[in-house]
Amino acid sequence: MRAIALKIEIYDGEYRGDMSALTLTATLSGTIEGLAPNDFLRAIVVLLEMSQKRYATPSPVGPALTVFVRRKAPALLARIDISLRGGIAKANLSCDGMLGIKADVAVAEGDDVVSIARSVLDALCDECQLSALAESRLKSVSRSVQINLDDL
């Protein structure tokens, strides 16, 4: 276990390859200790939880949020695109090794951007754990079910 240093930027607007169309609403940074290095989604949730308890952030102005997550170095670790419609936040996580993981969560009208991001990341973590569990079960099933063609 080692420390995971993160920087999270939450923008109001939908990212379409042009940062000038986005409005920065929150920047969070911190170091999370006690997690495995590959458990960066849980580290993001922990940083959002800590920030949610300490700081007030604005509610979204438009129907979309974009969250960029970086390690303390400038390289992008993950992007979360969030669409807000009818009390539902539909999220799509894009990062190396986990493309297209989606989650939907209920949000209230007065929720701030950090609360929305945290709810979404909680759901994405759950979705990733379910995917990993399903993949692990499929691998164990494929190992335990072997057909010997000579016996047929």
Q: What's the pTM value of the predicted model, to 2 decimals?
A: 0.80
Q: According to the model, what pLDDT value does residue 133 have?
A: 44
Q: Are 114 and 51 in contact (CB under 8 A)?
A: yes
The position carrying tokens 């936040």 is 89
Whether residue 62 contacts residue 12, with contact meaning beta carbons closer than 8 Å, is answered with: yes
DSSP state of 40: H
Residue 99 pLDDT? 61
Is residue 26 within a helix (H) or strand (E), and if so which, with residue range?
A: strand 23-35
Where helices occur in 55-145 by DSSP H, the ranges are: 113-144
Phi, psi of 7 (to 5 degrees): -130, 125
Strands 76-85 and 64-71: antiparallel
Residue 100, number of CB atoms within 10 A of its CB? 7
Chunked into runs of 10 residues, the chain (152 residues) has average pLDDT values of 85 93 93 79 88 91 94 81 95 76 91 94 77 48 47 46
What pLDDT is attached to residue 40? Answer: 80
